Amino acid sequence: MIKYSKQDFGDDFDWGVTISSYQVEGAHDLHGRGMSIWDKFSHQGKRIEDGSDGTIACDFYHRYEEDIDIVKSLNLKNFRFSLAWPRILPNGTGAVNQAGIDFYNKVIDYCLAKGVTPWLTLYHWDLPQVLEDKGGWTNRMIVNCFKEYADVCSRAFGDRVKNWIVINEPFTYTALGYLFGYYAPGKFGINNYIPAVHHSTLCQAEGARVIRRNVPDANIGTSVGCSHVSPASDAPRHVAAAKRIDVMFNRIHIEPLLGMDYPIRDLPALERIEKYIQPYDPELIKFDFDFIGVQNYYSLVAYDVPLVPYIGALIKPFHKLNRPLTANGWEVYPEGIYKILKQFGEYPIKKLMVTENGAAFYDKVQNGKVHDKKRVEFLQKYIGQVLRAKNEGVNIGGYFVWSLMDNFEWKAGFKSRFGIVHTDFKTQRRIIKDSGRWIREFLEE
């Protein structure tokens, strides 16, 4: 039994659910969509753990009505989804693919007709491959391309869409995609990573300015993946290591946007970024966001390892922390979301929104039902910790579950099921899990 109710969050608290284009849409080559870096990456040998790809995914492209009906039926008033850049601008820039605009118009209009508020993310990692061929996020040309894309989208949809998220989790695609080669586009090395970070920072602020110009009454945010970091012990070397990890996972992607500069002092390897900063950039990377989306899945315990290049630290594997684990090996640690919200609450940010939180578990369909007790408990506990932070004065305006339905979970393919709705990837049948039913009850008027 939970000890709180929806009312404790207040009437103006936004409850919602999140998906992203490549993870659900499918229709990878339909109606003029160009190729994205995930189309290419997922077909390169054994990149994806179960050998799958997003070619069909959840077939949201054809089933969006049914899926939005489900959102509505779960009493969720807000639906966050992303636009596929290659569906709108197949060549990255230039000619607009009207069929792509038409598709998102239909999705948006259907949401509005059902009384579900759309929240658009401009970029959730499916970069047009043609831009990656020119260096992608490592090449400064990306800034102008992104501004053009933001301009096309905000002109096309801004009359009806008022909630915008510029970029989803720069940490994930810059670190995993350009430093460790683990996500698309599969590049390695600090010399790819550092410029990718700076150009992503620039694009968040520049993209936000474009939206503001075209949609003056927009509610504009951007989202950061963030994890509370604690040191392995009180030993000063571990405390210093935790500080460096905190820079890399959290601070680097938020502080420059707030006009605080890159936290180079606390992570000297970041000095390399200065090479990419042009004279007006310190001004250009600032933007007065209406909200910052906080996305949290786990927290981190860091320890000092001088031999590790650049960062001199490592993160303790989750299975060594003596905490319960999710199906993809992440820890379950509800207090982590409270701690990171408190940390972000110290920044001069107008409002925080939890734009993603959720978990993968081994779900089974039994007699047409999915009793995902662990996910129900996960959500109840994490939401309870969000309330705790809110009650202690952190200005939190909403909570969005990741995810509406099981979908293509990047590197893990279809193995990691994060949905509150089960997807049968063969038949595309949806089954509302117990977690979805709990959300529905919890949000009942």
Give catalytic residues, as residue numbers: 169, 356
Q: Which pair of structure tokens corresponds to residue 284?
A: 């250009």
Least distance CB 408 / ligand FCB (angstroms):
9
Contact stretch for ligand FCB (CB under 6 A) within 140-148, 164-172, 362-370, 376-384: 164-172
C-alpha 383: how far from its chain's center? Answer: 18
Determine the Cα–Cα distance for residues 413 and 420; give it in Å rounded to an integer: 17
Binding residues for ligand FCB restricted to 179-238, rule: CB under 6 A? 225
Least distance CB 377 / ligand FCB (angstroms):
18
Q: Is 53 in the site for ligand FCB (CB under 6 A)?
A: no
Binding residues for ligand FCB restricted to 390-409, rule: CB under 6 A? 402, 409
C-alpha 372: how far from its chain's center? Answer: 23
Coil, helix or strand at residue 402: strand
Residue 85: phi and psi, rounded to 5, are -50, -45
Q: Which pair of structure tokens corresponds to residue 341?
A: 């919200």
Q: Is 410 in the site for ligand FCB (CB under 6 A)?
A: yes
Is the bond into 435 cis (omega within 30 degrees of 0)? no
- CB closer to ligand FCB, 53 vs 409: 409
Least distance CB 295 / ligand FCB (angstroms):
6
Coil, helix or strand at residue 204: helix
Q: Is 356 in the site for ligand FCB (CB under 6 A)?
A: yes
When binding is defined by CB under 6 A, the residue of 20, 78, 214, 435 that contacts ligand FCB is 20
Numbers of helices and strands, H then E, in the chain: 14, 15
For 255, counting Cβ atoms within 10 Å of its Cβ (0-12 exposed, 13-18 middle, 19+ buried), the class is middle
When binding is defined by CB under 6 A, the residue of 25, 53, 59, 169 that contacts ligand FCB is 169
- CB closer to ligand FCB, 246 vs 304: 246
- CB closer to ligand FCB, 23 vs 174: 23
- CB closer to ligand FCB, 158 vs 225: 225
Q: Is 413 in the site for ligand FCB (CB under 6 A)?
A: no
CA distances from 130 to 82, 207, 215, 231, 375 (A): 19, 20, 29, 42, 39
Summarize as ranges the residues that interact with ligand FCB (CB under 6 A): 20, 23, 168-169, 172, 225, 295, 356, 402, 409-410, 418
